Structure 1
Amino acid sequence: MLTDPVELDSQEAPPMDMLAALFEARGWPIERDGEDELAAEIKGDWTRYSLRAIWREEDNVLQMLLLPELKIAEDKRLPIYEALGLINEQLWLGHFDLWSNNGMLLYRHGLMLGDDGLLELDQAQTLVETALSEFDRFYPVFQFILWGDKNPQEALASALIDTMGEA
């Protein structure tokens, strides 16, 4: 959970500036690819992720992509697609996807900003927190399918059991 405030002069800024400040405040190394794209490497509960943000100024849309270090082999794509359908039914924001051309699994969420094209600090934090928490929540489903040979329903049931206390 992200709790530290970003040091900016205001609570809103152009999207790439706000996200760069947020990422830097978290100590996440960032790479900028022009004015409209940036990336950071972050560690989740289960794996490392590449967090990418893409800004489309002409539409005032910010897209957040979260990609694990995980590619889906051709023989596992059908059960993963089925699992994605079951998982996406449960999401309010964003969705999971599997890119057909390279087997990359990802979470993505698009955010339409107002006419001023500014991103608020709490919007930026929510966008990042949601992406990371949703992928961490469902990552075990993909592990159960890929390495445990469970079907999507079994994987989802096994991954989402409620635990009591801490070990």
Structure 2
Amino acid sequence: MRAVEARFETEDDAAPLEMLVALFEARGWPCEASAEEISGEIQGSWAKYQLRAIWRGEDRVLQLLCLPDIRIATEKKAAAQELVALANEQMWLGHFDIWSNGNVLLYRNGTLLGNDGLLSLDQAQSLVEIAVEECDRFYPAFQFVLWGDKEPREALKAAMVDAAGEA
């Protein structure tokens, strides 16, 4: 983290993709960037997630996509869509979608930045952490539905059980 802080003082803001590249580099996460997009991989608790950030400068919107590499089989699509709706009811920021192109599950969050179109280090860290945490939180429920043949409500209930105490 110090590399990011050395590059940008904690109160400094930067162009959104530039700040995300610095964050990825500081954390040792592989990434590729262009003028409008950054793409990289982050290890979550359950899987590696592909993270993409797309910058629309004319609208000052940063869209963050986190893909847990889950493809939805045609025969499971109705159950997966029900689970997406149930999961989205539990979320405050962002939402899950199933992309029609390839039936891929993804988390999406759009952030409108201020008139200057800049992103702070705290914002960058929060956006990435929230995306990974939400994918980690609901990953087991999708596993239960897609590979364990559980009903969506049952899968969500089983996945949302918090362990009491510590091992």
Cα distance in structure 2, aligned partners of 1:56 and 1:101: 22
- Tell me what 2:142 maps to: 142
- Tell me what 1:162 maps to: 162
Percent identity between the two aligned chains: 59
Aligned positions of 1:72-151 closer than 5 A? 72-151=72-151
- Tell me what 1:20 maps to: 21
Cα distance in structure 2, aligned partners of 1:9 and 1:28: 18
Cα distance per residue 1:57-114 (max 9 Å; x no partner): 0000000000012211111110010011111011110000001121110001000001
Check if 1:48 corresponds to 2:44. no
How far did 1:155 drift? 0.2
Counterpart of 1:150 in structure 2: which amino acid?
K
Structure 1 SS opposite 2:32: strand
Structure 1 SS opposite 2:100: coil
Structure 1 SS opposite 2:49: strand
How far did 1:42 drift? 1.0
Unpaired stretches in structure 1, ≥5 consecutive residues: none
Cα distance in structure 2, aligned partners of 1:49 and 1:70: 10
Unpaired stretches in structure 2, ≥5 consecutive residues: none
Cα distance in structure 2, aligned partners of 1:155 and 1:140: 8
Aligned positions of 1:59-70 closer than 5 A? 59-70=59-70
Cα distance in structure 2, aligned partners of 1:69 and 1:82: 19
Structure 2 SS opposite 1:157: helix
How far did 1:9 drift? 3.2
How far did 1:49 drift? 0.6
Aligned residue pairs total 163
Tell me the TM-score normalised to structure 1 length: 0.94
Q: 1:118 to 1:105 in 2, by over 3 A?
A: same
Cα distance in structure 2, aligned partners of 1:49 and 1:109: 15
Structure 1 SS opposite 2:85: helix
Cα distance in structure 1, aligned partners of 2:81 and 2:147: 16
Cα distance in structure 2, aligned partners of 1:138 and 1:120: 27
How large is the RMSD of aligned CA atoms in angstroms?
1.0
How far did 1:165 drift? 2.4
